[in-house]
Amino acid sequence: MSVCVCVCVFFFTNYILTILSFFFCRDELDIRQLISRILSERQSFANITEQALQEEIASLNSKANLAEYNDRGEDVVRAENYVFKDESTGTSQQEIFNNQRMELSKDVGNALNEVSLSLDFVSLLISSVKPALSKNTMSPHLQKFVKPTSLTSDKLENETGSGNGSASGNSIESTFNENGTKNTKIGEGWKTEAIGKITKLFKESAENLKMQVAKENRYWTMVNSVKSNDEALFRMRDPVSNARSIGVKYGYGDSGSDFQDKGNALLRKNNRTGVITFVPLGSTGANGVQVSTKQYKYVRVRILSKVDEDYIVTGQSKFSRSQFKSLYEVINQIEMARYFLFEDDLFYQLSREAKILISYNITVSADKITLAFGNDIVEIESVAYDESEDGNSPAQSTASSTINNEKCQCIIIYFKLMLCCFYKYNLKLKQKVPTNLTKWKQSNSHPLILRPFLGNLRHEMFVETAEKIINDIVKSTNLQNELNIKKFTNLGKVSKNPFQKSIDKPISVFYLQLKNTEQKVLKIKVLITTNELYVNLILRLNVTQYERVEDSKIDIGGSNILLTDFNDFDDFQTSLDWTIRDFHSN
């Protein structure tokens, strides 16, 4: 027998002894020791079957010459004889040894590969329970191509008996009946449990998919409703989570507004329900775009009249919320934010104009602008919006407190219309070809809202004062007189722009004609106007004297006595009184 055969017989004998010791001493080893013992001796579970084990046990019991196989010295002698016989055939002993060593190394390598595969398989099974231990025993190749915890395993507990306290069975014995036949109940139980788990996972996955579809449907339906409302949408990042999101532009930048708040908002998605939340954004600073937390405010106009040395409210503008009506709450929020952004811009522009008019009995604070006109005071307030209150009238409204309600409402409408006119003007400048002139106008154009309003009110007061001065002077002389007043002569010009009269400087003219006892005629023309600030007083006095009444009618032969401008009523009154008295004395 050759050396290879002897070595195989030697290993086979050790395998048989191992199997016998395993079956005779199985109650003394636990499952871990059994697995490690089988792996060290058998090298692989692939070749172990019940039939093969029974045949090996029967073969061992039938052999009577076990001592002959256990005698290793005799095996060595046979191996030497075998080598000697091979040398007689002409084959060198070194070649035979090298061939046998190569075959032996191949067998050892195959055994190591099978052991490594088995170890990787077991490590992958226990990776879901003990990830740290499985990573230490798992090969790098398997860790690279197979994700840990991708397989799992269950632990089978042995049933404990009540007699002598020993185990009545284990996982291997429980698979057989008393007569030795295979019991399939455990396998069927495992399959039933696996099917139940898979069914549960499929149901959970189906429910999860349904929820995801419902959330996405709800989200995109609301986005489409916002888009259908002609809103400008754009892509952006959530400043809180840095996640991709959709933004909406509700400001007036495209309409010509240059307000500091550009009116950008975030349509934030609720990951749990898929509902869109409207989140206004503040200005871009050093830390990027920030979420705005400012409170909504609106502009309110009130008129206070002096009664018995006290000022009481005689009128107040109304706040309308009828435009906030839609089936989707997010659209209502966008419309509301746009409305209050316009209100903020309006009060901002009014405050800018009021700061340059402080010397004209105007006071400016953070939330109020006060204009004084004789016995009346006009208050322009920025009031916080409260949904629980209507904010339209005082708590106790009386007949006297609502006299000027219509006037207040007209004032607030006038302010808003003038701001819209400025938007239109500014938008036209942006649409023109950029030149030095258009660039200068864009940087130096300011809305005319408060100044024209204040200028026209003061012009009314100037006209009344000038009329009173003229009447008093004429009455004191007892001259024949004829006074004709033409107010707001600038409105006589036809203009295509209905708001042109609001930004034109007001002009009123007094025509006074006097005749003395000598039938001389004195024509006086008083023109009242203002400058670009709209609130200053400009009085232009023009006096012409005619020697005859007929000359005055055809405006021939008149001599200009006085032509000058005044910025104060005292100087105007002094000069006019001296001119008329001098004419009267002549």
Nearest-angstrom CA–CA distance, 417 and 501: 13
Evaluate whether 445 touches 353 at the Cβ level (below 8 Å).
no
Residue 459: pLDDT above 60?
A: yes
So what's the pLDDT on residue 72? 45
Any idea what the Cα angle at residue 150 is, between residues 149 and 155, rounded to 5°? 65
Same domain, 484 and 366: no
In a domain, 30, yes or no: no
Evaluate whether 189 touches 171 at the Cβ level (below 8 Å).
no
Q: Which of 60-69, 412-421, 473-482 reaches the highest mean pLDDT?
A: 412-421
Residue 294: pLDDT above 70?
A: yes
Evaluate whether 472 touches 512 at the Cβ level (below 8 Å).
no
Residue 6: pLDDT above 70?
A: no
Residues near 491 by beta carbon (within 8 Å), at least 6 away in sequence:
501, 504
Sheet with 508-515: list strands edge to edge.
480-486, 508-515, 521-529, 538-546, 559-566
So what's the pLDDT on residue 169? 43
In a domain, 443, yes or no: no
In a domain, 537, yes or no: yes
Section 154-168 average pLDDT: 49
Same domain, 429 and 534: no
Confidence label for 4 from pLDDT (cuts 50, 70 and 90)? very low
Q: What is the pTM of this model?
A: 0.65
In a domain, 581, yes or no: yes
Residue 239: pLDDT above 70?
A: yes
Beta-ladder partners of 541: 526, 564
As given in the structure block, the two tokens for residue 337 are 């934010």
Same domain, 426 and 465: no
Evaluate whether 351 touches 442 at the Cβ level (below 8 Å).
no
Nearest-angstrom CA–CA distance, 569 and 463: 11
So what's the pLDDT on residue 1? 33
Same domain, 467 and 572: yes
Residue 250: pLDDT above 60?
A: yes
pLDDT tens by residue, 351-395: 999 998 888 889 999 899 999 887 889 999 999 988 776 555 454
Evaluate whether 282 touches 275 at the Cβ level (below 8 Å).
no
Section 237-251 average pLDDT: 90
Beta-ladder partners of 167: 160
Please state the φ and ψ torsions of residue 499, each to the nearest 5 degrees: -95, 5
For 310, counting Cβ atoms within 10 Å of its Cβ (0-12 exposed, 13-18 middle, 19+ buried), the class is: exposed
So what's the pLDDT on residue 426? 86
Same domain, 328 and 428: yes
Same domain, 350 and 469: no
- The percent of residues above 70 in pLDDT, for the chain, comes to 77
In a domain, 511, yes or no: yes
Task: Specify the amino acid at residue 314.
Answer: T
Same domain, 406 and 485: no
Section 305-330 average pLDDT: 82
Nearest-angstrom CA–CA distance, 359 and 232: 44
Q: How many CA atoms lie within 13 A of 258 on its CB side?
A: 14
Same domain, 406 and 492: no
Whole domain around residue 527: which residue ranges? 453-585
Work out how many domains the chain is built from and give that number: 3
Q: Between residues 413 and 33, which one has the greater pLDDT?
A: 413
Residue 178: pLDDT above 80?
A: no
Section 216-220 average pLDDT: 93
Nearest-angstrom CA–CA distance, 303 and 402: 10
Nearest-angstrom CA–CA distance, 409 and 414: 9
In a domain, 430, yes or no: yes
As given in the structure block, the two tokens for residue 502 are 């609001």
So what's the pLDDT on residue 34? 67
Section 412-421 average pLDDT: 92
Section 239-250 average pLDDT: 90
pLDDT tens by residue, 499-547: 777 788 889 999 999 888 788 888 999 999 998 888 899 999 999 988 8
Same domain, 424 and 492: no
Residue 111: pLDDT above 80?
A: yes
Nearest-angstrom CA–CA distance, 485 and 465: 13
> Of 145, 176, 210, at which residue does a domain stop?
145
Residue 488: pLDDT above 80?
A: yes
For residue 455, give the 3-state DSSP assignment.
helix
As given in the structure block, the two tokens for residue 526 are 């008083």
Residue 212: pLDDT above 80?
A: yes
In a domain, 324, yes or no: yes
In a domain, 312, yes or no: yes
Same domain, 474 and 531: yes
Work out the mean pLDDT of the chain and round it to a whole number. 79
Same domain, 402 and 472: no
Same domain, 498 and 580: yes
